[in-house]
């Protein structure tokens, strides 16, 4: 599975109409496995890399030129996709953190261990967590983590839970600097297949 993250610099005037059109158009593309639209960020999910790469071309063929200017556009492998205790409930708030690369092998091992052994257990019982995606970009050796939640308060609770965890034996805090960039946003649309 793959995720394509595209960001925009500004919100168009007719954003609500565009969001509905976007969801309808992308859900009809071959290989589509879902969509998360945050304000300023589109995350599309794909069953294979080829369909992720062809998505913009297919959209342009059906719609014409893009109605927004794309700031960033990256395709990631979905390394981990976990439902939260609120899976099935509407996601109304999202958080995305970017861990920009390049990350070396020691950093990668440390980050993966922290995610699996410290952070995941801290989040598994949070009542407002809908879904967590961990995305890996092997070419640039970078990560992105997406949390979807039932409310902005739940997003804050996720952050509080992560920050309240204690380091594991042998964890070096110098190898765990946290995300380079992050954003919290309302969920405009969330579609699963």
DSSP state of 115: I
Question: Sign (positive/negative) of CA torsion 178, 99, 1, 69?
Answer: positive
Q: Global pTM?
A: 0.94
Give the residue with greater pLDDT, 67 vs 83. Answer: 83
Question: Sign (positive/negative) of CA torsion 123, 128, 131, 134?
Answer: negative
Does an H or E element contain 159, and which? Answer: helix 152-163
Please write the tens of the pLDDT for every residue from 28-72. Answer: 999 999 999 999 999 999 999 999 999 999 988 888 778 788 999
Please write the tens of the pLDDT for every residue from 136-164. Answer: 999 999 999 999 999 999 999 999 999 99
Contact, 132 vs 143, CB < 8 A?
no
CA distances from 146 to 10, 60, 105, 120 (A): 21, 27, 22, 13
Contact, 191 vs 148, CB < 8 A?
no
Does an H or E element contain 52, and which? Answer: helix 49-63
How much of the chain exceeds pLDDT 70, in percent?
Answer: 100
CA dist., res. 123 & res. 138, Å (int): 26
- DSSP of 142-157: EEEEEEEESSHHHHHH
CA distances from 67 to 7, 8, 49, 123 (A): 13, 11, 24, 37
CA dist., res. 170 & res. 45, Å (int): 35
| Tokens matching residue 9 | 């610099």
Q: What domains can be seen in the chain, in order of their start residue?
A: 2-192 (3.30.70.100)
């Amino acid at each position: 599975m793959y995720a394509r993250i595209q960001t925009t610099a500004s919100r168009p005037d007719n954003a609500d109409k565009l969001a509905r059109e976007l969801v309808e158009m992308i859900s009809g593309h071959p290989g589509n496995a879902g969509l998360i639209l945050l304000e300023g960020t589109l995350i599309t999910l794909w069953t294979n890399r080829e369909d992720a790469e062809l998505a913009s071309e297919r959209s342009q063929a059906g719609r014409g030129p893009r109605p927004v200017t794309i700031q960033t556009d990256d395709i990631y492998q979905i390394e981990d996709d976990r439902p939260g205790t609120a899976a099935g409930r509407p996601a109304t708030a999202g958080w995305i953190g970017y861990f920009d690369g390049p990350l070396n092998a020691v950093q990668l091992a440390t980050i993966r261990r922290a995610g699996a052994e410290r952070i995941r257990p801290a989040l598994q019982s949070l009542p407002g967590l809908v879904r967590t995606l961990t995305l890996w970009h092997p070419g640039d050796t970078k990560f992105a983590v997406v949390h979807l939640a039932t409310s902005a308060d739940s997003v804050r609770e996720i952050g509080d839970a992560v920050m309240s965890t204690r380091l594991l034996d042998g964890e070096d805090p110098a190898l765990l600097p946290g995300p380079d960039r992050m954003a919290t946003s309302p969920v405009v649309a969330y579609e699963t297949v």
